[in-house]
Amino acid sequence: MSVSAAYNYTGQCADRATMGRIDGSNFQTPVSGGKVLHTIDLTAPEVFHYSAEIDTDDDPKKAPDTQVLDTSKVKYKGEQALHLRGTPAAKSNPSINPAEPNPYIGGLGVNFPASPVTLTANDYVQIRVFPTTSAALILEIYEDDGGNPNEIDKYPANYWLPKKDDDFYKAVVQLKPTGKWQTISIPLSKFVDWNKKTSCSTPIPGINENVGNGKFDPKKGEAMAFQLTFVSDSWGPAVKEVYVGQEVKFIRKGGEKK
């Protein structure tokens, strides 16, 4: 697997700048003979949106008031899609985690109070993308390990990341414009357990809190959440743009029973 170069991140836990980062071109093959276990409609009413914010009205306190990410439902090159467009917020922006190693723009997600299927580490997540600029998507999966099986424990004061008992997995997919739709199928084994403690000895909220059991093991009827965060491939004011297919699919290779 080819790993793209790290972003320009040299803060505490700098190893996080490369963890989970994959080149999307290595996974542009649909899962052969796979069985779709679950489908997420990114245009459904329950999908929520989030974004870094900047100050555009010159108030004395320079408080952020305008989202940097624009999203719209469109039909693009023959496919129903979401159009994501924006520029990354500055590293010092108060609306984002100061330890965040990615040039953050914004994203969307959906919560499942009770997952209708059993998902295992042998599954894939499949998305369709049409990037018109080089950029990256962070695929994030939250799953319940304890507490209320119908809830993901998220903490608003900690950038809505897990508070306890739950695992947070992600893969950062490098996107390159090819002038066509791309099907990317990512094995769950490529996702990184983001809130599990690593070699970084400094405890940093939202980065290495060591919560959950370290396994992707949501069972049928347990809570799960999926988020898709759009980030730039570099810090700076360049506009980034991608079209994302309306459906995200969870697929079991070969459709074998477990």
Could you report the per-residue pLDDT of 211-254, keeping only the tens digit for each? 878 788 888 888 888 999 999 988 888 999 999 999 999 888 87
User: According to the per-residue pLDDT averaged within each range, which of 80-89, 97-106, 138-147 is highest?
Assistant: 80-89
Give the pLDDT confidence score for residue 7 in this predicted structure. Answer: 61
**37 pLDDT more than 60:** yes
Contact 195, 162 (CB under 8 A): yes
Could you report the per-residue pLDDT of 188-211, keeping only the tens digit for each? 888 888 877 777 777 777 777 778
Contact 165, 1 (CB under 8 A): no
pLDDT tier, 146 (very low <50, low <70, confident <90, very high otherwise): confident
Give the pLDDT confidence score for residue 49 in this predicted structure. Answer: 92
More confident residue, 118 or 255: 118
Q: Which of 46-50, 135-139, 144-148 has the lowest mean pLDDT?
A: 144-148
Helix (H, G, I), strand (E, B) or coil at 135: strand
**131 pLDDT more than 80:** yes
More confident residue, 109 or 57: 109
**Maximum separation of any 2 CA atoms in the chain, in Å:** 61
Half-sphere exposure of 135 (CA within 13 A, CB side): 29
User: What is the mean pLDDT of the segment spanning 78-92?
Assistant: 91
User: What is the mean pLDDT of the segment spanning 138-160?
Assistant: 81
**pTM (2 d.p.):** 0.88
